Amino acid sequence: MNRITYHTTPLGRVMLAAKGDALAGLWIEGQKYFADGLKGEAREQDDFPVFVQAKEWLDRYFAGEKPRISELKLEPAGSEFRKAVWEALCQIPYGEVVTYGELAQKMAVLHNRERMSAQAVGGAVGHNAISIIIPCHRVVGANGSLTGYAGGIDKKIKLLTHEGAYSESFFVPKKSTAP
């Protein structure tokens, strides 16, 4: 049985999901792939310990603190490749951005390959099951395009601005490239 709860953030209402004693999902209401990977019945349980911790983490983050991702036990559902990409996202420092190409290079080295498709990496980034905490919003296009955020480009801009990482050189492409 999955457990879920809801929390209100400056980005809007989010749904959190737990698997065992770990956080398995965090989705912004209305985002693409909402509750993706959440299988079976779910019971709402606001006071479940991992939810209490995650809500406190989110409140601290939006209050301007820089809580460590390692403070939370995370267990997003996904393939080994996606999990490796999500782990790489967790290494991007607060207030910094990387490009999809840079992330693909990192994944290529990790997998002992000459190269890795930035599109494959982008697909994994776009299916991040724990938005905000696993910072997929910190990935941008090589030319500064703000692409591929399942929560919506407006939310990505708010998160980057909140972290002081937003640059005037960033732009929203005319056609969405979200996976």
d(CA 11, CA 159) in angstroms, rounded, equals 9
Strands 2-9 vs 12-19: parallel, antiparallel or unpaired: antiparallel
From CA 20, how far away is CA 136, in angstroms rounded?
A: 24
Q: Which of 63, 57, 70 is nearest to 162 (CA)?
A: 63
Q: Which of 136, 140, 153, 165 is catalytic?
A: 136
**Active-site residue flag, 136:** yes
Q: Can you tell me the distance from the alpha carbon of 29 to that of 44, in angstroms, rounded to the nearest whole number?
A: 16
Catalytic residues: 136
